[in-house]
C-alpha cells in the first residue's frame, strides 16, 4: 500500500477491510455481526465504519445484507493481509516468537510498515531459509540464543573465527 493510501485509511479502517476479507475467504460471506465478533466491537460501531468505507467506495454495504469489498477495497484489504502475514512469518520463523505474541505484534506493526521495509523483511526471510550458511540451523541457534539471553560457546567460536569481536575474544 503506498504511503498516501495508507494515510487515507486509519488503522481501524484497515482492520475492518482485513476482517471482511478474512470472513469472505473463510465463510464466503461477511455479515455485520461476524465483523463485530471478529474485531470485538459492537454492531453499531461496525455499521458506522461500513458507512464510512462505503462512502469511500471500498465496501458495498446495505443494512441487513452481506458486506462485500469493491475492487479497490479488496486490493487494500489484500495488502494489509499480506503485510500482516509477512510480519507474523518473520516474527515466528526468524525471531522465534510464539504464535500468540507474533500475532499480537503483527497486528500492531502491519499499520506502520511501509512497502519497502516489508519487501526487505520478506527477502530476508527467504534468504535465511535458503542460504546454506544460514538456514534452519542458524535460525534455531538464534532462537536458542535469545532464550538464553547470552551467546553460547559455538557463537563465540564462530565470531572469533571470523575475526570479529574485540582483542580478548569477548562477543
pLDDT-derived band of residue 156, with 50, 70 and 90 as boundaries? low
- At 150 the pLDDT is 58
Q: Name the more confident of 59 and 147.
A: 59
- In a domain, residue 62? The reply is yes
- In a domain, residue 168? The reply is yes
Of the listed ranges 62-66, 73-77, 114-118, the one predicted with least confidence? 114-118
| Integer Cα distance of 41 and 21 in angstroms | 17
- In a domain, residue 41? The reply is yes
Does residue 169 have a pLDDT over 50? no
- At 3 the pLDDT is 47
- At 167 the pLDDT is 46
Q: Please state the rounded mean pLDDT for residues 11-38.
A: 96
Domain final position from 33, 57, 77: 77
| Integer Cα distance of 32 and 45 in angstroms | 10
- In a domain, residue 16? The reply is yes
- At 30 the pLDDT is 97
Q: To which H or E segment does residue 68 belong?
A: strand 68-69
- At 48 the pLDDT is 97
- At 110 the pLDDT is 87
Both 73 and 9 in one domain: the answer is yes
Q: What is the total count of domains within the chain?
A: 2
Does residue 33 have a pLDDT over 50? yes
Domain final position from 46, 77, 108: 77
Domain final position from 38, 60, 77: 77
- In a domain, residue 165? The reply is yes
Query: CATH number of the domain that 25 lies in?
Result: 1.10.10.10
Identify which of 110, 47, 44, 42 has the alpha carbon closest to the alpha carbon of residue 76: 110
If you write DSSP's letter for every residue of 97-157 in order, what string do you get? --HHHHHHHHHHHTTT--HHHHHHHHHHHHHHHH-TTSHHHHHHHHHHHHHHTS--HHHHH
Does residue 42 have a pLDDT over 90? yes
Q: What percent of the chain has pLDDT over 70?
A: 80
Mean pLDDT of all residues in the chain?
84
Contact assessment for residue 115 and residue 1, using Cβ atoms and an 8 Å cutoff: yes
- In a domain, residue 157? The reply is yes
Tens digits of residue pLDDT in 108-140: 998 888 888 888 888 888 887 777 676 667 777
Q: Name the more confident of 95 and 138.
A: 95
Q: Which domain holds residue 69?
A: 3-77
Predicted model pTM: 0.72
Amino acid at each position: 500500500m503506498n504511503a498516501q493510501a495508507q494515510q487515507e485509511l486509519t488503522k481501524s479502517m484497515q482492520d475492518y477491510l482485513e476482517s471482511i476479507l478474512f470472513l469472505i475467504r473463510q465463510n464466503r460471506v461477511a455479515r455485520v455481526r461476524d465483523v463485530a465478533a471478529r474485531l470485538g466491537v459492537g454492531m453499531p460501531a461496525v455499521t458506522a465504519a461500513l458507512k464510512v468505507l462505503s462512502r469511500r467506495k471500498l465496501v458495498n454495504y446495505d443494512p441487513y445484507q452481506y458486506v462485500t469489498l469493491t475492487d479497490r477495497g479488496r486490493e487494500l484489504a489484500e495488502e494489509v493481509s499480506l503485510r500482516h502475514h509477512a510480519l507474523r512469518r518473520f516474527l515466528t520463523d526468524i525471531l522465534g516468537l510464539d504464535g500468540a505474541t507474533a500475532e499480537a505484534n503483527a497486528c500492531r506493526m502491519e499499520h506502520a510498515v511501509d512497502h519497502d521495509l516489508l519487501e526487505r523483511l520478506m527477502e530476508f526471510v527467504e534468504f535465511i531459509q535458503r542460504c546454506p550458511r544460514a538456514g534452519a540451523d542458524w535460525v534455531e541457534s538464534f532462537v536458542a540464543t535469545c532464550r538464553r539471553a547470552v551467546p553460547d560457546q559455538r557463537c563465540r567460536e564462530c565470531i572469533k573465527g571470523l575475526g570479529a569481536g574485540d582483542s580478548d575474544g569477548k562477543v
